[in-house]
Amino acid sequence: MPILSRTLERLFFLAAIGSALLTAAIFLLLCQLGKPLFQHGGLGTLLCSPWNPGHGQYGIYPMIVGSLSIAFLSVLISFPFSLGCAFFITHFGPLALRRKLLNLVRFMTSIPTVVYGFVALFLLVPFMREYLTGGSGLNILTASLMLAVLIAPTMIIFFVDSLQRVPLSYRQAVDALGGSPAQQLLYVVLPMAWPGILNGLLLGLGRAMGDTLISLMLAGNAVAVPTAMTQAARTLTAHIALVMAADFASMEFQSIFACGIFLYLFTALLIVALRLVGRLSPRGL
Amino acid sequence: MFATLKKNIFLSLACLLCFSLAALPAYANDLDLFKGQQGVIKISGGTAHIPVMKEAAKQVMSAYPDIRITIAGGGSGVGIKQVGEKMVQIGNAGRKATDQEIEQYGLVLFKWAIDGVGAVVNPENPVHALTSTQLQDIYAGKITNWKELGGIDRAINLYTRDEASGTREVFWKKALNKGDIIASANVVVSNGAMKTAVANDPYALGYVSVGHIDASVQPVSLDGVVPSNETVKDGSYPVARGLYSITSGEPQGAVKAFIDFLFSPSGQQIAAAKGFIPVR
């Protein structure tokens, strides 16, 4: 038995080391493959210059702006709705409805992205074009709205989890003191649950940043730097998907490694932020 | 809005029906090429090729079930890259592989049909004719409103393809005379996606392979010549390119049979039926 457990221990250790090394290796590989680009003009120029292969410019600045604005806008739209929905499920909704709603939200996480994209293409895009944004209807706002729907379930489930983890005795204490449900939520439950809520928020942001299909189908993929929500934009992920098909040896193809590096670093920063939030809040749950 | 939607659904259903009814009688002896062959043929690449590949694969697989053929899209760049890396046996491309690609991978090119690329607008759009200069000015961002072209007072929604697209390359070279394409143009990923985009957007201007033009989009005549099979074939419509199937090294076995089948009367008939100009 001891031999078996020791072997198992070693196996698990190897698995842990392996996946950690793999993550590091992916980053090194990205840097290695993106090397010609850095030599071409340095990472700084690459991150700040426009995309114009016809004139020898392979900068990914427009895509960075596109990615960040679509991701942040979608979180901005999705956050209040998700939080409200989580409150409803944990505190305000009729008991019979709460369970059903939560199940519905869980089901929503399993709908493939392409379905959202396709439905939006035929319903939301014509609506935006005719009544709201003009242009082709393929723009930052359209993509963000759909992305907000996509990331809402993830956020709601996280929020519900952390709201429900507030001990019942605390809430009963508020009841005993004659506090209203709203007071209970605002002064006791929210302060206790906020690290979890922030976690959910950052996770939603990460998901919005990493999604490819919604922005590829709905954001228009234009390479100009967007200056308004009603303009088309290309995200880093959509750029990778679009340029993937280019000639292997071309500079266009090399540029996707720069996108990869940026996405990788951005996600890494998000995770560091998550950890910091977790550490800085001993009070929270 | 819902009227357009309904119309589009109807159109797509109609297309589906046409595809399923358009099974062509093959000359029996052309399929004999596959006698004694078996195995899997993987095909990927140019999206313009797909209708022909599907029909050819269907005929081959119904006659010789031992041969399995898989077809994927991805665009010309993907086709060349994947066949070069030997991930597929046949890579399709709507452009010639570059000399560098041919040399690096030892590619062999087979041009089995010719395809035009035509500008298209939504059927609701009254503008059906443009000159080369107008088209270049629109794509360069100098003309931005349909009003300037005799249409309604709405901004022109420009659609283009990604850098790896063979369709884009020939359109850019021969219709736009290598002029600039404005950075704010929407980018779509395939001929099919372009058609969907233009069919759904009343103010759109895009371009597709002539083989893809159907009732859902309105072809735009260029300098008075409407892009169609006839005008591409007689050379009066100049924006055209070869459709290539590419193998890594000289094809063998079932792959060779498939390439030969594309050049046989049956294969050439399929190409013609799907809206391309056969080479033989």
Q: B17-57 pLDDT, tens per residue? A: 444 444 445 455 788 888 888 889 999 988 888 889 999 99
- In this prediction, residue A171 has a pLDDT band, given cuts at 50, 70 and 90, of confident
CA distance to partner chain B, nearest, from residue A247 (Å): 6
Tokens 């709905």 -> residue: A218
Q: For the segment A39-81, what is each residue's pLDDT rounded down to a tens digit? A: 766 667 777 888 887 777 888 899 999 999 999 999 999 999 9
Range of the domain at B232: 116-240
Residue A26 lies in a domain: no
Q: Decide if B200 and A245 are in contact by the 8 Å CB cutoff.
A: no
Comparing C-alpha atoms, which of B59, B116, B52 is closest to residue B90? B52
Measured between alpha carbons, how far is residue A115 from residues A104, A122, A213, B215, B262 in Å?
17, 11, 10, 26, 36
CA distance to partner chain A, nearest, from residue B62 (Å): 32
Lowest mean pLDDT among A27-36, A91-100, B103-112: A27-36
Specify the CATH number for the domain of residue A247: 1.10.3720.10
Find chain A residues with C-beta within 8 A of B177's C-beta: none
How many alpha carbons lie under 13 Å from residue B250 in its C-beta half-sphere? 0
* In a shared domain, residues B185 and B165: yes
* Counts of helices then strands in chain B (DSSP H, E): 11, 12
Find chain B residues with C-beta within 8 A of A133's C-beta: none
Residue B3 lies in a domain: no
* In a shared domain, residues B53 and B131: no
Q: If interface means Cβ-Cβ distance under 8 Å, which residues of chain A face chain B?
A: 50-54, 62, 121-123, 125-127, 129-130, 134-138, 216, 220-224, 231-232, 234, 241-249, 252
pLDDT of residue B74: 81
CA distance to partner chain B, nearest, from residue A274 (Å): 35
Residue B170 lies in a domain: yes
Residue B64 lies in a domain: yes
Q: Which of A122, A134, A241 sits opposite B200 (nearest CB)?
A: A122
40-79 of B, contacting A, C-beta below 8 A = 74-78
pLDDT at A187 over 80: yes
pLDDT at B6 over 50: no
pLDDT at B75 over 90: no
Lowest mean pLDDT among A111-125, A161-175, A268-282, B84-98: A268-282
Find chain B residues with C-beta within 8 A of A137's C-beta: 201
* In a shared domain, residues B145 and B203: yes
Q: Which of B1, B157, B187 sits opposite A135 (nearest CB)?
A: B157
Comparing C-alpha atoms, which of B124, B5, B205 is closest to residue A119? B5
Tokens 């074939």 -> residue: B233
* In a shared domain, residues B111 and B250: yes
- In this prediction, residue B7 has a pLDDT band, given cuts at 50, 70 and 90, of very low
- Chain A residue with minimal CA distance to B84? A248
Residue A37 lies in a domain: no
Q: Which residue has the higher pLDDT, B232 or A76?
A: A76
Q: Decide if A243 and B163 are in contact by the 8 Å CB cutoff.
A: yes
pLDDT of residue A285: 45
Q: For the segment B169-220, what is each residue's pLDDT rounded down to a tens digit? A: 899 999 999 888 998 899 998 888 899 999 999 999 999 998 888 899 999 9
E strand or H helix at B40: strand B39-45
Q: Decide if A222 and B186 are in contact by the 8 Å CB cutoff.
A: yes
Q: Decide if A127 and B1 are in contact by the 8 Å CB cutoff.
A: yes
Residue A153 lies in a domain: yes
CA distance to partner chain A, nearest, from residue B251 (Å): 23
Give the span between the Cα atoms of A114 and A108, in whole angstroms: 13
The model scores a pTM over 0.90: no
Are A195 and A99 in contact by the 8 Å Cβ rule? The answer is: no
Q: Which of B5, B100, B201 sits opposite A136 (nearest CB)?
A: B201
Residue A30 lies in a domain: no
pLDDT of residue B4: 44
- In this prediction, residue B10 has a pLDDT band, given cuts at 50, 70 and 90, of very low
Give the span between the Cα atoms of A38 and B186, in whole angstroms: 28
Pairing between β-strand A57-58 and β-strand A51-52 as defined by DSSP bridges? antiparallel
| B114 three-class SS | strand
CA distance to partner chain B, nearest, from residue A262 (Å): 21
Residue A16 lies in a domain: no
pLDDT of residue B235: 84
Q: Decide if B186 and A126 are in contact by the 8 Å CB cutoff.
A: no
Residues recorded for chain A: 285
Cα–chain-centroid distance for residue A198?
Answer: 13
Give the span between the Cα atoms of A164 and A285, in whole angstroms: 10
pLDDT at B11 over 60: no
Q: Decide if A245 and B187 are in contact by the 8 Å CB cutoff.
A: no
* In a shared domain, residues B233 and B252: no
pLDDT of residue A158: 92
Give the span between the Cα atoms of A60 and A262, in whole angstroms: 10
pLDDT of residue A245: 67
Range of the domain at A129: 64-284
Measured between alpha carbons, how far is residue A276 from residues A195, A267, B280 in Å?
10, 14, 69
pLDDT of residue A1: 60
Specify the CATH number for the domain of residue B160: 3.40.190.10
pLDDT of residue B21: 42
CA distance to partner chain A, nearest, from residue B30 (Å): 34
Q: Decide if B101 and A246 are in contact by the 8 Å CB cutoff.
A: no
Q: Decide if B185 and A244 are in contact by the 8 Å CB cutoff.
A: no
E strand or H helix at B103: helix B99-105
Give the span between the Cα atoms of A278 and A273, in whole angstroms: 9
pLDDT of residue B53: 92
* In a shared domain, residues B228 and B138: yes
Residue B106 lies in a domain: yes
CA distance to partner chain A, nearest, from residue B236 (Å): 29
Task: Pull the structure tokens for residue B39.
Answer: 């195995």
Find chain B residues with C-beta within 8 A of A241's C-beta: 189
* In a shared domain, residues B56 and B166: no
- In this prediction, residue A22 has a pLDDT band, given cuts at 50, 70 and 90, of very high
Give the span between the Cα atoms of A105 and A114, in whole angstroms: 18
| Interaxial angle between packed helices A190-210 and A140-164, expressed in degrees from 0 to 180 and rounded to the nearest 10 | 140
Residue A106 lies in a domain: yes
Backbone Cα Rg of chain A: 23
* In a shared domain, residues B97 and B127: no
Q: Residues B146-159: what's their mean pLDDT?
A: 92
Cα dihedral value B127, B131, B137, B139, nearest 10: 70
* In a shared domain, residues B98 and B127: no
- The fraction of chain B above a pLDDT of 70, given in percent, is 90
Are A150 and A116 in contact by the 8 Å Cβ rule? The answer is: yes
Lowest mean pLDDT among A62-76, A101-115, A234-248: A234-248
Residue B2 lies in a domain: no
Task: Pull the structure tokens for residue A43.
Answer: 């990472």
In sign, the C-alpha dihedral spanning A73, B203, B229, B20 is positive
Inter-chain contacts counted by CB atoms under 8 A, chains A and B: 91
* In a shared domain, residues B227 and B248: no
Mean pLDDT of chain A: 87
Mean pLDDT of chain B: 86
pLDDT at A280 over 50: yes
Residue A211 lies in a domain: yes
Q: What angle do CA A45, A252, B206 make, to 5 degrees?
A: 115
Q: Residues B231-239: what's their mean pLDDT?
A: 87
Q: What is the number of structural domains in chain B?
A: 2
CA distance to partner chain A, nearest, from residue B164 (Å): 4
pLDDT of residue B203: 93
* In a shared domain, residues B120 and B211: yes
Q: Which of B1, B77, B184 sits opposite A245 (nearest CB)?
A: B77
Q: Residues B224-248: what's their mean pLDDT?
A: 89
Q: Decide if A248 and B185 are in contact by the 8 Å CB cutoff.
A: no
Task: Pull the structure tokens for residue B65.
Answer: 């079930």
DSSP code string of B116-140: EEEEEE-TT-S--EE-HHHHHHHHH
Tokens 């022109």 -> residue: B156
Q: Is B221 on the interface with A (CB under 8 A)?
A: no
Q: What is the number of structural domains in chain A?
A: 1
Residue A59 lies in a domain: no
CA distance to partner chain B, nearest, from residue A19 (Å): 27
* In a shared domain, residues B143 and B213: yes
- In this prediction, residue A283 has a pLDDT band, given cuts at 50, 70 and 90, of low
- DSSP label at residue B141: T
- In this prediction, residue B9 has a pLDDT band, given cuts at 50, 70 and 90, of very low
Q: Decide if A136 and B188 are in contact by the 8 Å CB cutoff.
A: no
Find chain A residues with C-beta within 8 A of B101's C-beta: 247
Give the span between the Cα atoms of A117 and A207, in whole angstroms: 15
Q: Decide if B74 and A245 are in contact by the 8 Å CB cutoff.
A: yes
- Residue B263: phi and psi, rounded to 5, are -90, -10
- DSSP label at residue B225: B
